Structure 1
Amino acid sequence: MSLPRFLARAGLALAVALPLLAQADATLTLDQVIAGPQRTPARQQRDVYRHPAQTLDFFGLRPNQTVVEVWPGGGWYTEILGPYLNGHGRYYAAQVSADVDKERADEVTGFDKTLGTHPELYDHVAVLTFEPPQQVDIRPAGGADLVLTFRNVHNWLKDGSAPAAFAAFYRALKPGGVLGVEEHRAAPGTSLQQMIDTGYVTEEAVIKLAQSAGFKLAARAEINANPNDTKDYPNGVWSLPPSYKGGDQDRARFAAIGESDRMTLKFIKPAP
């Protein structure tokens, strides 16, 4: 079956789908990719909480960059970054190892499924293994322009590998490169143990980790703030969507709150 006929049957908009699926040399706008048919509808519905266009623009994403996303999970941002960088840039996914991290094995399976859904969009994706503090070499040839990580710092705090992780991000970047961090935000003064227990991390803790690795804080944004998040739930941040760890208990209340209040921080690796 021809590509246009397939797309017509699927009811996809050719103006968006054809550049995504057939024109690797075209430069797509970020908005085109975010609205593209390659995105899973369930993931697209979360844009209202995750603000991908504003977030990636704040971090300075450009289509010709070399970008490393650290622990991409099932591939929520991969559906955007992979096609956007296809042709002119390069996308590296620094993924967990399912053999090492059994708790996150389902995410690796989901990520592999994402890549297999549209291989013509993702065949350029390079997958690295990132398991701090042992496996931390995620520097692409020539270095990265941008290293991104979304809602992962609490995991590295929990296992004590956060300093090693941030040091790896620093090594992966070119001088002048950017580290973009989004993380569930705790109230100032929250203890380390509370951060580990609840999944919420203070901005102070993230900034200290980054600065200790050599980064300079360049900017903060409130793109992913949620003032309705009171951060005092029995199952921590996992009480909220999309996790709903408490099951049906207070589910309607948590759904009304939405996803967590999040910091969005931009760091620079200083030029020598």
Structure 2
Amino acid sequence: MTLITKPINAYLLLWSVLCLSAVQAGELITTPEQPDAASLQYFANHDLRSEAHIARNSFRNPVDTLLFFEVKPKHQVLEIWPARGWYTEILAPYLKENGQLTIAHHRQFQLDEEDGQQRFWARISRDLSERIESYPDYFGAVQQLSFDPPELLQLGQEASYDRVLSFRNAHILDQEGTLLQSLTAFFHVLKPGGILGMVEHRSSRLSDISSTASEGYLDEAYIIRVAESIGFELLDRSEINANPLDTRDHPRGVYNLPPTLAMGSQDSDKYLAIGESDRMTLKFIKPN
């Protein structure tokens, strides 16, 4: 008996050609149920992103980081304090067809505040909102809300999100005395089984009970204890964003390093050679 295989092979060949053509045309074929490394890589290097943002991929490792946090195209994702939208530029198009991105940024109506820091963050938030509105086909329908603890802590309905992502925000929350409140708010809006992904500048560890932290750095064990006190469980940790060249003892802390280079041209070659900060990458789960 002879098996008829040619029609099947022809269909497979046609499907392969169509897939290849779609990818070459920039129309990525995604599977909403699984993290999609190819799509993440495509958006991480997209022409809409500035050269400066793309240049930071080697330090911030967005593809590996988002894969570690198991972000799927179908997910409801909350990004905390996106600032200039470095991760938003990747997450929004990745989620727009099958999921939803919500960004929680600073209050934009503080543009006239006397406090220069409040004006700075308000302007950054407004600029990102305007950029999202300027490229609707790329970003999609990004939902936006204000998050400014301790006054504004409401991030949505209970159990609304599959993922809450916080990139280099914990040290600011800790400095302002709102880290516990903020993590509690994150816990409230995560679905049971949902993941909190955190990336943060990591301080030097001196022993199991002590560390040294110059400006902008936080102790990894400290963040874990605070999160676990709320009810989170540490699911995993990664060295994706580690930088062994970072001694963490700079005069102005993490801000000496790129991209800030707080001391300007003074010792800039030294800090550029170090690169961006050493960072912890932590994955917490809200138990079912």
TM-score bin (small chain):
0.7 to 0.9
Report if the CA contact (8 A) 2:92-2:140 is conserved. no
| Counterpart pick for 1:182 among 192, 196, 199 | 199
Residue 110 of structure 1 and its aligned partner are, at CA, apart by: 3.5
User: Taking structure 1 as reference, are residues 124 and 226 closer, same or farther at Cα in structure 2, changes over 3 Å only?
Assistant: same
State how 1:146-157 maps to structure 2 within 5 Å.
Answer: 146-157=163-174
Alignment partner, residue 104 of structure 2: 94
Structure 1 residue runs without a partner (length 5+): 1-12
Alignment partner, residue 5 of structure 1: none
Report if the CA contact (8 A) 1:132-1:161 is conserved. yes
State how 1:227-266 maps to structure 2 within 5 Å.
Answer: 227-266=244-283
Q: How many residues align?
A: 256
SS of alignment partner, residue 93 of structure 1: strand
Report if the CA contact (8 A) 1:115-1:122 is conserved. yes
| Counterpart pick for 1:40 among 34, 50, 63 | 50
Residue 33 of structure 1 and its aligned partner are, at CA, apart by: 2.1
Counterpart Cα distance in 1 of 2:154 and 2:24: 36
Instruction: State the Cα deviation string for residues 93-126 of structure 1 (Å, max 9, x = none).
Output: 0111134532423421331243144221224100
1:19 aligns with 2:50: no
Residue 24 of structure 1 and its aligned partner are, at CA, apart by: 11
- % of aligned pairs identical? 39
SS of alignment partner, residue 265 of structure 1: strand
Give the letter for the 2:254 counterpart.
V
Counterpart Cα distance in 1 of 2:152 and 2:280: 27
User: Taking structure 1 as reference, are residues 200 and 192 closer, same or farther at Cα in structure 2, changes over 3 Å only?
Assistant: farther
SS of alignment partner, residue 176 of structure 1: strand
State how 1:114-263 maps to structure 2 within 5 Å.
Answer: 114-139=131-156, 143-189=160-206, 195=213, 198-263=215-280
Structure 2 residue runs without a partner (length 5+): 1-20, 111-117
Residue 153 of structure 1 and its aligned partner are, at CA, apart by: 0.5
Counterpart Cα distance in 2 of 1:166 and 1:192: 22
1:55 aligns with 2:72: no
Counterpart Cα distance in 1 of 2:175 and 2:206: 17
The worse-fitting range, judged by mean Cα deviation, of 127-136 and 252-261 is 127-136
Alignment partner, residue 85 of structure 1: 95
Q: TM-score, normalised by structure 1?
A: 0.86
Give the letter for the 2:43 counterpart.
V
Report if the CA contact (8 A) 2:93-2:140 is conserved. no
The worse-fitting range, judged by mean Cα deviation, of 221-230 and 124-133 is 124-133
